A and B are shown apart, each in its own frame.
Chain A
Amino acid sequence: MTTPTDPVTDPATDDAGVAREAGSAAYVLALADDALVYAQRLGEWMTNAPQIEEDMALGNIALDLLGQARALYPHVGVLDGTGRGEDDYAMLRDERAFRNVHLVEQERGDFGQEMARLLWFSAWQCELHGRLAAGSDEVLAGVAGKSLKEVRYHLDHARQWVVRLGDGTAESHRRMQAALEWAAPYVDELFDDEPAAAAVAAGVLTAPPSSVRPSVERAVEEVVATATLTMPETPRWRSRGGRDGIHSRPMGSLLAEMQHIARSHPGATW
């Protein structure tokens, strides 16, 4: 291992009981939270997608993301020195301790909105995981390298649908364009450099998040153009705070649904 782990065994805790993850742990935790929370949202499509085939497709993508989260959480436990496991992070943290971006926590909208969200998220993951795979943290590089194949498929899925809906009927075109406008304010957070500063300094991430923005935008623009849609103008309001644990209203009910079994029956197994 070449990871420069900080000799922190007892991470400071602030008044809200939020552990302050040391070094690159904070960013790895953020990536795990992105994957977990989006997996939860995508799972809501089961029985709700336009066709059962699409239930399966979105369920598969959700499971891929859940797998990424499960691989990352124990590694965060090593990096932050607490030795916590996947359940500790996924089920026993409160809202303020989650570091995911607002994009993934937003409530399930129509199918076009989901494809707009998936397009941005998977295009971003494709670029980011490429950088992580070349990084200095062997565990993280391994997880990123494996997930890259999955993520490329997610991007392809979003692409197929955005093109079909955008270049489909007048109604599907209108709603797909509206979906792109809906997603636009949530994109900035993905490229925020500040939360990743320690990870970049440690060489875990070979380049700051903002450096992947041009290639992510190119990928999205290509899809949008093929779909006969137009890129939204830069939104005046943009989400922020997710990486600091400041979340939007839908996050509370998402966590309640996701965590209540584990919290109602502590330590239960089956």
Chain B
Amino acid sequence: MSGDTTTTGAGAPAASPDTPERSWPLWEVFVRGKRGLSHVHVGSLHAPDAEMALRNGRDLYTRRQEGVSIWVVRADDITASSPDEKDSFFDPAADKIYRHPTFYDVPEDVEYL
């Protein structure tokens, strides 16, 4: 039954007869909003390459004028901290309140501080 179904996705260039189920790689999308200072992660998508990922990102995530700049990064290229390491990574900072700049007396006549 499945032996003669050779019709893969009409336009999926990544698919070859050897790997019929192979799909496009995952990309993470970052958008800088109009008044935003930095790019913010907005989601992910599939695309065959970086150029198409940029265009898909435009179509998926800036349809309502959300942004003026897009970055795309292969999800594989992102090294992320592991949830298993959460305790050793982040908890040690919890009791070090002296790392917060809250122990200074701010002079009253200093503006913009």
Contact = CB atoms under 8 A, between A and B. Distances in A.
B56 A53 contact: yes
B66 to A, nearest CB: 14
A164 B48 contact: yes
B47 A53 contact: yes
Q: Place the interface of chain B in its size category.
A: 20 to 34
Interface of B is mostly: loop
Interface stretch (A165-173, A184-192, A231-239): A165-173
Contact of B10 (A52, A56, A112, A164): A112
Contact of A161 (B11, B23, B63): B11
A115 B60 CA distance: 20
Interface of B: 9-13, 16, 23-24, 45-49, 51-52, 55-56, 59-60, 63
Contacts, number: 52
15 contacts: A50-B9, A50-B11, A51-B12, A52-B46, A53-B45, A53-B46, A54-B56, A56-B60, A60-B59, A110-B11, A111-B11, A115-B11, A157-B55, A165-B13, A169-B13
A160 interface: yes
A169 B48 CA distance: 13
Q: Place the interface of chain A in its size category.
A: 20 to 34
Contacts of A165: 11, 13
A27 B58 CA distance: 33
A49 interface: yes
A57 interface: yes
B46 A51 contact: yes
Contacts of B23: 51
